[in-house]
A and B are shown apart, each in its own frame.
Chain A
Amino acid sequence: MNGAFAKRDVDDLAIFGGAPLFSTVRPVGQLSSPDEALFFELARGIFDRRRLTNNGPLVRDLERRLADMHGVAHCIAFANATIALITVLKIVAGPVRGEVILPAFTYPGLPHIVRWAGHAPRFCDVDWETHALSPARAAEAISPSTRAILGVHQVNSPCAIDAFVALTRERAIPLVFDAVHGVGCTHRGIPIGGFGAAEVFSLHATKLLNGFEGGYVTTHDDRLAQSLARARNFGMVDDGVIEGLGLNGKLNEIHAAAALACVDGLEGLIERNFARYDAYRSAFAGIAGLRVLSYPQNGERWNYEFVLLEVGPAWPLNRDATISLMRSENVLARAYYSPPLHMSENHAPASSLPVTEALSHRFIQMAVGELLAIEDVWRIADFSRFLSANSEAIRARMADPPRTRP
């Protein structure tokens, strides 16, 4: 089912002035649409009640649905996952300034989140197999100033949960998971959400459940749930009296309505994600030097939220040049967690993290989500074959200064 592939010549590449492969972008986010009929029905209720925020009925409904989905006692919704994670860390890591151990091969926001929570990020290396925080490296990094460990589940590859639970129990350190990529996934058959002190999820539009912006925390801990619910509303208890430090972490009712209008579509979205992932595997089969990354599944459920291309030595172009070529064709691929966090911005200095550094050169995060048709995947694969076949000319042209086509 190959789509029309119109590039005959290196000059036809968009980077050199040709028409792009796609006239509109193919992004890396999910961008699933909420069920519109349900959204407007819920919105009508918001207008009738004139209740737009402050822990309204839709937020409470959403929290119940998500708590059920994750099989946890409590779900506490937040304005976004960043604010959720700041609040969780502030509570579990305590008021005495110290360090939070986290991976460097992850989302650029995390070290900022740790600092808003009043602590310093302590970057650790990841595991070769899971690409998530290495329990062995984290154990070595524990010191008297360690206040928490923040593990991050990778797409289709959760942290070594059991090892972290054992480690943090033994050393009496709070364990929190950034589970933004764990929606719909399992560990030993149990849904991600109930591990550690708390797990934090996102309702951002690029994620599986689209609440425009939003986030939530799942936990089995009654006291933590109560503290979180207060902290997200300025630390208020009844009658406006303040119990302790808080902020505005409230999810509004319109965002909650959108997220609720996505919950029933989650299974279908994961199925379509699998179909796109599967198409990538078939379409890229046999392209020397490019491989669709696949972790050992061991019977667990995955969400197939990302597709990662591993760039091997047989691929004739460098990774970042390949990304530039794709992006100019409106395939919004990007370098996966590169540069790693310990080598970017002005974060706390870290010693060399060899696994992280090696992985940071290796992957392309490919276009996925609801704006990507199966046919598009085949066209991107054909395009990649074209790049490979014309690599010498491309390399020569890319080294040249850009010129205008006559």
Chain B
Amino acid sequence: MKASVGDLALFGGVPEFATPLHVGQLNLPPFEDFEASFRDIFRRRFFTNHGPLVRTLDERLARRLGVRHAICVANGTVALMVACAALDLRDEVIVPAFTFPATVQALSWAGLTAVFCDVDPYAQTITAELVEPLITERTSAVLGVHLWGRACDPDRLLDLCRRYDLKLLFDAAHAIDCTFGGRLVGGFGDLEVFSFHATKILGSAEGGALTTNDDELAARIRTARNFHGAETFAEVALRINGKMSEAQAAMGLLALDHLDEWGARNRELYHRHQQRAGSLSGVSFLDHAGAERSNYQYCVIGLDAALDLSRDELRQILEAEGIHARRYFFPGMHRTPPYGDMSADPDRPLPVTDRLCALTLQLPLGSGMDTRQVNRIWEVIEFCLGHGRDVRRALDSARQGNRPARPLTATS
């Protein structure tokens, strides 16, 4: 417990967590299972190029997500690049700026122009209403992001895209095992793209997948992800080595065995975060799961702009305490080169995105954590917000190069 500002690690106190807590999931299967799986790979000498484990993972994912096709690739960014090639997109794609860089950068690699759409302040995703005014004759697709696992207005966006004859794809990197209206993410739009990065609930070290119910599109995706003659099922102008290895697939399969277990742990941590945040003014917990099924892998909070401490200052304090909170996403992609810079573009304002980028913070939730640790995170936050002016003074003083106002005291 912090009794005074001097107890904060940033000002010389003992960090709350000796071993830092991270935002990512970093889930791992038992080492024995890993070893058995890899001994099999070495025995088969089938290391990559559409091996048996990748095929099994494709099948198991498709079954789990209730889609006709799941096609695994090297990582989520490559999955997005493959999606652009397989859909043969042209010119402009409408996309949120409040997203991970990969969503937008993949469009650039595919030679496309990103047209940024602001997000809904509550859902934090783009919506059909926000997208429609941005559609021009140069628009070829809408790329929605199921941010934090919450589906991105899939039905109304589909309706809009069908009316304008546009392709619709979703970045579902956050959304494995999440539902919209009870339907699992994976079958929305023309295709969806998942990430199995180590920080995701289902990790394959690096990895990703595309899912679709469209057989012809699946053939194009399978073609676009490699250069092999034997794995050519359609005429696709732009192809890449996007193959997932057997090592990655082995990790993905082991993770899939534990997905329910890890989801249940996340859910418990998520609800404890929600409960603790609820009793604190100046902080809002984003209940992105709501009544839907979710993987509960992100704890996202918004800070009141009128607090004594800024989001970045709170983050700096938490960092020193061993609480590695993240500010996804800062800045918004519209202010990131080559798309823009920190000066606002008056012709294309994204006020909600800018506000979220300034006030949003993710707190640790994942592997090795328990609810007591969640409580301790919130005790630090409560202390900081409750002593906002004192902390503010200490920060200003430290910034001016002064030593901490009081001598260090040991705290437990």
Contact = CB atoms under 8 A, between A and B. Distances in A.
Interface string B96-120: 0000111001101111000000000
A134 to B, nearest CB: 24
Given A47-B31, A212-B48, A212-B245, A40 B38 contact: yes
A150 interface: no
Interface stretch (A138-146, A247-255, A309-317): A247-255
A212 B45 contact: no
A374 interface: no
A346 interface: yes
B128 interface: no
A93 interface: no
Given A43-B34, A235-B101, A112 B239 contact: yes
B150 interface: no
A136 interface: no
A52 B247 contact: no
A50 to B, nearest CB: 5
B251 A240 contact: no
Interface stretch (B5-13, B198-206, B286-294, B343-351): B198-206
A83 B241 contact: yes
A68 interface: no
Contacts, number: 149
A248 B102 contact: yes
A371 B327 CA distance: 50
A79 B74 contact: yes
Interface size class of chain B, counting residues whose CB lies under 8 Å from the partner chain: 35 or more
Interface string A226-249: 000000001110001111111110
Contacts of B330: 240-241
Q: Which of A53, A83, A109, A248 has the most CB of B within 10 A?
A: A248
Contacts of B331: 241
Contact of A247 (B31, B106, B248): B106
B240 A252 contact: no
Contacts of B75: 79, 248, 250
Interface stretch (A31-39, A269-277, A380-388): A31-39
Contacts of B337: 235, 242-245
Contacts of A86: 109, 240
A213 interface: yes
Interface stretch (B76-84, B177-185, B209-217, B260-268): B76-84
A243 B337 CA distance: 6
A103 interface: no
Contact of B81 (A47, A116, A118): A116
Interface in A360-380: 370-371
Given A52-B203, A244-B338, 15 more contacts: A53-B205, A80-B74, A83-B240, A108-B229, A115-B238, A206-B49, A210-B47, A212-B47, A212-B248, A213-B48, A241-B330, A247-B78, A252-B206, A254-B251, A346-B235
30 contacts: A31-B47, A34-B42, A39-B38, A47-B28, A47-B34, A50-B28, A52-B26, A53-B197, A53-B206, A54-B198, A82-B240, A83-B241, A109-B240, A109-B241, A118-B111, A204-B48, A205-B48, A206-B49, A212-B247, A213-B244, A234-B77, A235-B337, A236-B101, A240-B327, A243-B337, A244-B338, A245-B105, A245-B109, A248-B75, A254-B205
The 8 closest A-B pairs by CB, nearest first: A205-B47, A212-B245, A82-B241, A248-B77, A52-B198, A252-B205, A109-B227, A52-B205
